[in-house]
Structure 1
């Protein structure tokens, strides 16, 4: 069975689907009290008839657009109802009839309240929830939480189904697909040669990070993956017995969910985060990325036949360089996480290598069974015959099977490599010992010998199957799987350098020096051949740890290849010395070769030093700092060593927490443009690393639109971007959804790089001036609320579950860089991730919209007369229609506003015991929300949220009925827990954490 299967194409007219699964919600569903567990025989027969004779369906009356849109979602509603029935049956079976009736009563009441606007139902819902016992509360929370999980699975399957319907119907390629991007590029006159050059130079890297918003246990994720697989099977033609068997398996897996502990008893460790991340390689990346590259090669060959490398082999697709690779922060990100050490870095690299080598061994073993060609039937190349002769397999039974003998030899060498590199034996013993491969390139060369021989001897069809995917995987994953970035905050580097200088007698107070003096001292030390480090000095634990992790990186590069660790990110980069300090640390650990400024032996650092500009002030200083770095004497040789490229990372999360949604996005935009100018002047290739999160307030939103809305000249085939928290699961738990999300990143990068003129409207200068005015006003409004309102931090900590989130075992890293002492806690010390996560839980999502309404109103109020007012409105409307940056900005904000709920948020406001503070702050937030909605409607001309995406609007609205009970119960549980009366009751604490899990699942992109 395959997850890509779907119902026949002839049943429904295709519809567009969104590129990014995490940014969508669901149609309505229910958990009926009485219903069969599977579709009726009549329904089954109807489906089979449709599958057998789609053209024979009777003509139907002309449908309205709304009717047609609804028809497309019939399979989705069927799946949700079906899974809901299974969950309902499970609740009845596991908890009893009374528990089931209670859940169903709450569900029906919530639906009446939300969808029918029945106020009496709202009051009844409130009474029902307040009367629940602790055990009843947990059962209700679990039921509604798991329903959100199951509904998400159904939605993902519907995305896959709709895409297959499109393909079967021969619909035009959709935006976000590679086919659409290539057609647009071809129509714009881009040549095959230019396209070839693009892929030869491009680098696109999604980077998986571990952050404390992933609320799911791996056991839960594994069960949900199996449910998704079984649900996909139901789109295939099935006999009655097969369907009953499928239903029984699904029922079992739903029962597994119910009987599995949803929450962790202990905090997640770094090693757990490493294993969780690796599970997505098995599910999605190992096969998905090679498959995606193969499809891209086929599409290029079809649209740009001149882009083929070899005219002598017309059947062969255009072979691409490994432009698409994977990155990871897990095991190397030390910023604020004391649990990341040299040992965790070593463990991450070892586990990654073990996974990819075991996968290679399985693939080579399978190829040995598949490639059974006999030399009596077909010839082989001399190179292939030489591989066969070098093989330790001398069995007379395979004397005429050179391919098998060659692959047995490759397997033996790969098994030896696995033992040498990871210390682990191969899952299947080789026929004899052999010499390990020196590196992944040597392994790839042997595999290529097999491919070339197949193609040269009537085996093109064989060369384009498993072995082609293996060759692509080797090019992408090497022996390292993913590059592990190292990251640390600049303050730590300064402290380490200060200690090294003091111990060596160079400078007693490095931290107290001026920036100019720091630079002078650092550069002088980089020109010295000797080291600062003293072998017998007793350094602090922090200094020993920082030097140890760099020493470990050097060792890992020698063991797994240079790509295992090639980037070093400096958080909170404020000055040039912040970057130079890391160059000096590389020198101290044997990772900087040569001397900075030397013409005969120039500096060659093994790790690229990458600044991370996070706050509003940092973003404004970014271009100046990078210009100083590029102009540093001797740094040109460093750039040359890195292939003429330099990476810069931009932080979306902290800049948003610092300056608000509008200002953060605008300052990021300006910083990118300023960086482009600096790099173009120095003729250095700029690669931007976008530190995006899941929520819109942290740079989230559809990836396709996000990349296309980048300023012209800022992509150019070079992009890295983070995938964080629960977004990793939303995007990549389902193999087909994951492949689609990867395709979207490539397609958007292609279009943004090769069609940049489409992103530059004629009135750009005017638009940018208006945007600056809006940003200034939004910044003032946001800062006044968050940082200048007396007591705001107390309001935030009282009305959101931030304290309980910090207590939940979500990730290995603390929620704050400092201990959250009640008297000393500050918004500034709180990490941006739990900051945004908390606002999502209370359904305000404030980081994704606050300040926009005030900014627009202030701009319009300053118009001297009616004519000027109308002109300002007209300009804003042109901006949203013709400027991708502004269009995406407002589209993302529109989605966030649709997910907010002031009525629910007002319940959380009651948790603030200071009545005056409560009324003051909530009134301001409420007024700004209404004003933002009003100004957005004025600009777009649409009064309703998501008017241009009715499916998403309907989905979000219908999901509220299932979130309402969770939010209501969360508030009640927080009251009980914080009152101290039930503070020691583990059921209350567990109930709070379960509601956090359920709300996060319902919102999907909340972290």
Structure 2
């Protein structure tokens, strides 16, 4: 990224000035002056050192402490909105720089598909190799609804409008009048933003989460994913002299957990699963109808001038369009018929009325494949009379969209906890008279009993038996899943994820439930209609994952199921819980080793492995660059198949802007392509592995000693972070804890990481590394050159350290010390915060020694500049959050204080960007 960011700074100044103008107009000169004084003092504090810094900090604290509650609320809003506006300017700058590289045309930027294809071409890959890869590849980002997205879509809409105006200002030559009008519109949008409530006043429902996620299809996916495919086909044709590159298989598709992930979320019901698929279908079919309408306006070709194919003429006749004005316009008539059939589909499937209404009544499509067949008739006919250029436009993109999205838009996953499955299966077995106490059986007895039951076609459930509410709910959800398969096809709901999978019986129990609703058909050659996907997420589960899967693969019945699924097994690996369980370094190393062992097992069994990476936004939850993360996977573990969760505020930062969205979609595909097909330089050695293993053990000990073995650590955590206040925010339908227990073990990993980000420690992304290196070097006094070599040559180790450096650059001990003061137990505070300070100093010291850098972000000047610019605007928010927490917890718990705290949470999350 170029260091020269003059235009970026101009955008930041412009937006800051407009926000100031709005603040002055709405709240008066006095408030404006106070905000401006606070801003200047915060900047002075960040730029000063020594005595000057102490003086600046004192001035800043006096200014903030002197605010009334009403003034505090306005100041919080001002600095929060500045963080949001700075994000907009930064995103615009990234698009600007990317466009500059593309316009220069010297080379394809790294992370693009053009770059990946050029690398493969230069390495000697053939067009046939690419064809085979695309035929079997499977890449899927999966949107999930986790409670770190604190931004309302009303706010997001205003921000998108501001970004659009900045893009126009940047890319167009404007007359003075146009420039003045644009400035006026910018002011209006910032004013709208200021007057729009930043927080939700009601708890977010699953239905709201579904709608929020669908907005990103409107913003980005529906347009950008088809365009990406078209550009890829053109690139393959150009770089590999491949004339038959059109119609690449739909190897890149979208997935979703929203409405299907019921693990720990009692609000995900059968109705919500049905709502999710219906809303998805309504959105994508409505999009197709709009595209057909526009296509009809474009394809005005006359039969007096061109000769269409017999198939197209037949399609036009079946439209029953009697208008004399279109008598000689076969494409328009054909499209009217196609539109009528799709409108009938929308009405019969979803009860939707279309606008405009269809001209004639036609039968609904039975599937998206029938719709696609009609589009291909249009395409083929256009190419017969020299109109290939017309086929390459909107029709091509629509054709590609149907291949990607079908009538279901995104593949819905179901997820449930293994503990729930065993209770439900136990109840079914007991009521059916098969086993009175399934839960009392050991693992071998459970597996034997389930195997026998799975060979029988007899159902266990009966409409004449009264079951518990939980069992009824689980069966109802599975019945809806079966109905989704019947209507939309198996690709609409192809996956079932099992949380806390720890045994063969956990997999077989899902088979029993699937059999109850017809998603598993027993017999000599059983047919399983869904992928059963175990999720391994704790350190102990990850250590045991290959043993569990080996037992499953050796089970004749389970192996038959895999054959019915194309000899493919998907396995999900959890980054969040493994990190909370064992710390950053250990979690990443255990995950890396798990991938290697699973890959070796699947290769030996001739099973195609697909890994599903449960990554979050924060580095402690597997965050960081997806492109770098995929390139750093264990060699051979990707092999063209990867799914990855996109969570929380990361969805917004990646996909709310179409250009950013396209870049992120491409980077996933490019990294997977390179990791699968580029020559692998396997630099991993026994020395490297032994070093990381030893480092991991030391880091694990240090992390567990602090988090799980320090008496009253949970008390300290809850006192010094806003975890309780985060749990009150209306930012997700899922509870923050799996139970009412205050234990760290029962807290969900997402609010765990989010809370540390708020107090500027981001501890899950680095704690334990410094102690680990210190201990290892004590055992290996001459070991530093080896660690430097590992950083230089081994992508896995380099990526871990790169992410850790980014997290530490956002960490601020001075700010964190203010939060530590919220712990009233002086001895506990001194003990724990002292350990954190010592560990951070050690970690930075050893990181600098290993990377041989003078600064944490010496190799990332753009990111360093971004963080440096943001800190002065985050400092006041942190200070005010601490003061507000003190007041709130002391009993001044009125609504305005609560609102102010929640606004600081929002502003800090926006400023840090990947803290959730």
* TM surpasses 0.5: yes
TM-score, normalised to structure 1's length? Answer: 0.90
Task: Note the alpha carbon deviations across 1:549-599, whole angstroms, 9 max, x for none.
Answer: 00001111212222111100000111111111000000112211133xx2x
- Distance in 2 (CA, whole Å) between partners of 1:881 and 1:185 is 23
Q: State the Cα deviation string for residues 835-863 of structure 1 (Å, max 9, x = none).
A: 00000000000000000011111011013
Partners of 1:335 and 1:164 lie apart in 2 by 42
Deviation at 1:880, TM superposition (A): 0.4
Q: How does 1:364-403 map to 2 (within 5 A)?
A: 364-403=292-331
Counterpart of 1:290?
226
Match of residue 481, structure 2, among 533, 553, 556: 553
Equivalent position to 1:488, from 405, 410, 416: 416
Instruction: Give the Å deviation of 1:414.
Output: 0.5
What is the distance in 2 between the residues matched to 1:817 and 1:102?
43
Q: Does residue 761 of structure 2 align to residue 844 of structure 1? A: yes
Q: Is residue 273 of structure 2 the alignment partner of residue 345 of structure 1?
A: yes
| Equivalence for 1:1001 | 910
C-alpha separation in 2, matches of 1:329 and 1:222: 24
Distance in 2 of aligned mates of 1:521 and 1:836:
41
* Aligned residue pair count: 912
Conserved? CA contact 1:358–1:427, under 8 Å? no
Q: Which residues of structure 1 form unaligned runs of 5+? A: 1-14, 17-68, 310-316, 864-868
Is 1:419 the counterpart of 2:354 in the alignment? Answer: no
Q: Partner of 1:676 in structure 2?
A: 599
Map of 1:726 onto structure 2:
649
Aligned-partner Cα distance in 1 for 2:722–2:527: 48
What is the Cα deviation at residue 156 of structure 1? Answer: 0.6
Which of 168, 173, 180 does residue 108 from structure 2 map onto?
Answer: 173
RMSD, aligned CA = 1.0
Task: Trace 1:593-742 onto structure 2 (pairs within 5 A).
Answer: 593-595=521-523, 598=524, 602-742=525-665
Task: Give me the whole-angstrom Cα distance separating, in 2, the residues matched to 1:291 and 1:227.
Answer: 24
Secondary structure at the aligned position of 1:947 is classed as coil
Report the equivalent of 1:927: 838
Q: How does 1:348-367 map to 2 (within 5 A)?
A: 348-367=276-295
Q: 1:261 is paired with a residue of what secondary structure?
A: coil
Q: 1:963–1:999: 8 Å Cα contact kept in structure 2?
A: yes
| Aligned counterparts of 2:425 and 2:20: Cα–Cα separation in 1 | 61
* CA deviation after TM superposition for structure 1 residue 189, in Å: 1.1
In structure 1, the partner of 2:46 is 114
1:860 aligns with 777
- Alpha-carbon distance in 1 for matches of 2:109, 2:440: 57
Aligned to 1:313: none
List per-residue Cα deviations over 1:851-904 (Å, max 9, x = no partner): 0011111011013xxxxx23x111101100110000100000000010000000
SS at match of 2:18: helix
- Specify the alignment match of 1:537 in structure 2: 465
Q: 1:790 aligns with which of 706, 711, 714?
A: 711
Q: For residues 512-564 of structure 1, what are the alpha-carbon distances to aligned partners after superposition, in whole Å with 9 as ceiling and x for unaligned?
A: 21000000010010011211112211100000000000000111121222211
Structure 1 distance, partners of 2:660, 2:685, is 36
Quote the offset at 1:506 in angstroms.
Answer: 1.4
Q: What's 2:177 paired with?
A: 241
Corresponding position of 2:872: 961
1:907 Cα offset (Å) = 0.3
Q: Quote the residue 2:30 is aligned against.
A: 98
Aligned match for 2:496, one of 547, 568, 578: 568
Instruction: Report the Cα offset of residue 698 of structure 1.
Output: 0.1
Q: Could you say which residue in structure 2 is the equivalent of 1:463? A: 391
Question: Residue in 2 aligned with 1:281?
Answer: 217
TM-score when scaled to structure 2? 0.99
The counterpart of 2:252, out of the listed 321, 324, 335, is 324
Distance 1:511 1:246 in 2: 68
**Alpha-carbon shift at residue 468 of structure 1 (Å):** 0.1
What 5-or-longer segments of structure 2 have no aligned partner? none
Q: Partner residue of 2:899? A: 990
Q: Which runs of structure 2 are paired with 1:248-267 in the superposition (5 Å)?
A: 248-267=184-203
For residues 66-90 of structure 1, the C-alpha deviation after alignment (integer angstroms, 9 at most, x for no partner) is xxx3xx3011001110011110000
Q: Give yes or no for the alignment of 1:184 onto 2:119.
A: yes
Q: Verify: 1:814 aligned to 2:742, yes or no.
A: no
User: Aligned partners of 2:839 and 2:573: how far apart in 1?
Assistant: 28
Q: Secondary structure at the match of 2:358?
A: coil
Aligned partners of 1:278 and 1:961: how far apart in 2? Answer: 35
Partner of 1:748: 671
Q: Find the residue that maps to 1:321 and give its secondary structure.
A: coil
Cα distance in 2 between the residues matched to 1:405 and 1:641 = 43
* Residues 656, 664 of structure 1: 8 Å contact kept: yes
Q: Is the Cα–Cα contact under 8 Å of residues 876 and 939 in structure 1 kept in the other structure?
A: yes
After superposition, where does 1:216-235 map in structure 2 within 5 Å? Answer: 216-235=151-170
Look up the SS of the partner of 1:687 in the other structure: strand
Comparing 347-356 with 161-170, which one deviates more in the overlay?
A: 161-170
The separation in 2 between residues aligned to 1:885 and 1:552, in whole angstroms, is 42
- Alpha-carbon displacement from aligned partner over 1:800-834 (angstroms, at most 9, x marks no partner): 00000001111000001102xxxx41000000000
**Which of 142, 145, 165 pairs up with 1:207?**
142
Q: Cα deviation per residue 1:286-342 (whole Å; 9 max; x = unaligned)?
A: 000000111111111111113x32xxxxxxx53211011000000000011000000
Query: For residues 859 and 510 of structure 1, what CA distance do their matches in structure 2 show?
Result: 48
Residue 756 of structure 1 deviates from its aligned partner by: 5.0
CA contact (8 A) 1:480 1:564 kept: yes
Supply the distance in 1 between the matched residues of 2:97 and 2:852 (Cα, whole angstroms). Answer: 30
Quick one: distance in 1 between partners of 2:614 and 2:685? 26
Residue equivalent to 2:742: 825
**Contact 2:574–2:614 (CA under 8 A) maintained in structure 1:** yes
Deviation at 1:951, TM superposition (A): 2.0
Question: 2-side partners of 1:525 and 1:641: how far apart?
Answer: 19
Query: In structure 1, what is the equivalent of residue 9 of structure 2?
Result: 77
From 685, 702, 708, the equivalent of 1:781 is 702
Distance in 1 between the 2:247 and 2:650 partners? Answer: 31
Match of 1:86 in 2: 18
Secondary structure at 2:267 match in 1? coil
Residues 93-147 of structure 1: CA deviation (Å, up to 9, x unaligned): 0111101001000000000001223221100111111111111001000000000
- Partners of 1:115 and 1:754 lie apart in 2 by 48
**1:159 aligned residue:** 94
Give secondary structure in 1 for the equivalent of 2:680: helix
CA contact 2:456–2:522 (8 Å) conserved in 1:
no
CA distance, structure 1, for counterparts of residue 864 and residue 679 of structure 2: 31
Provide the C-alpha distance between the structure 1 equivalents of 2:80 and 2:251, rounded to a whole number of angstroms: 40
Alpha-carbon distance between aligned partners in 2 of 1:194 and 1:740, rounded to the nearest angstrom: 25
Q: Aligned with 1:788: secondary structure?
A: coil
Q: Give 1:429 shift.
A: 0.5
CA distance in 1, matches of 2:367, 2:436: 45
Residue 64 of structure 2 corresponds to 129
CA distance in 2, matches of 1:753, 1:249: 47
Q: Distance in 2 between matches of 1:125 and 1:171?
A: 48
C-alpha distance in 2, partners of 1:644/1:473?
28
Structure 1 residue 509, shift from structure 2 partner: 1.4
SS for the counterpart of 2:666 is helix
